[in-house]
Amino acid sequence: MTRSGRSAAGDAPTHDEAQVRRLVLATALTMSRSGLSPGRSGNVSARFGEGMLITPTGLVYEEIGPEDIVFVTLDGNVPQARRKPSSEWPLHVAAYRTRPDMGAVVHTHSTHAVVLACAGRPIPAFHYMVATAGGSDIPIAPYATFGSEALARHVAACLADRQACLMAHHGAIALGRTLPEALELAQDVEMLAEQYIKVLALGPPVLLPEGEMKTVLELFKSYGRNAPDE
């Protein structure tokens, strides 16, 4: 069955489910090959129609095809699936329900993000690029068992006003309007986590004041937009 609707493939709507499946898989492969999520860890999804297309559970990304990407409704139903969805599908559903403006989710187990998550440390405003996640810090969600509704609730609370957060003793999650945007943010979170760990090795970090972070957040609203104003 083909489902039509707006996807996270790019900035424009698409009615091509096969294309979105390919893009979800391509994003997962890039995530894995870049070291953001080794082995079978991590997962990727894109909003599609009345639900999402998400990577399957327990399979190596190098060994799956677009047909193995699973459609899950936002009610948690899995119609006509040949594979089981990622065990973290409740996390993705919660993210889409909390952030209807977002179209893609990338969940990673990247090394430095995991280190901070296991230490119970959010990423504060040690660098202005922290604002890329939508606020003056990158928060950390309390621990709950992977795949649980409790974890989904904790993460949804963090993502209400952020596009990324850490998950205690687990990893990180990043949202985007598109798949490339979500993946780029996941890469940024890992970079910031690595930098912050190195700053901590030198001593207590000097943080930017809240007023400056508000200025940066306002500037980020138009950052990177090269088209002339209409």
CB atoms within 10 A of CB 222: 8
Strands 171-176 and 104-108 come out as: antiparallel
Tell me the DSSP string of 18-77: HHHHHHHHHHHHHHHHTTSS-TT--EEEEEETTEEEEPBSS--GGG--GGG-EEEETTS-
Rounded to whole angstroms, how far apart are CA atoms 87 and 57? Answer: 6
- Is residue 123 within 8 A of residue 191, CB to CB? The reply is no
Given the residues 17, 50, 62, 88, select the one marked as catalytic.
88
Active site residue 88: yes
Residues annotated as catalytic are 88
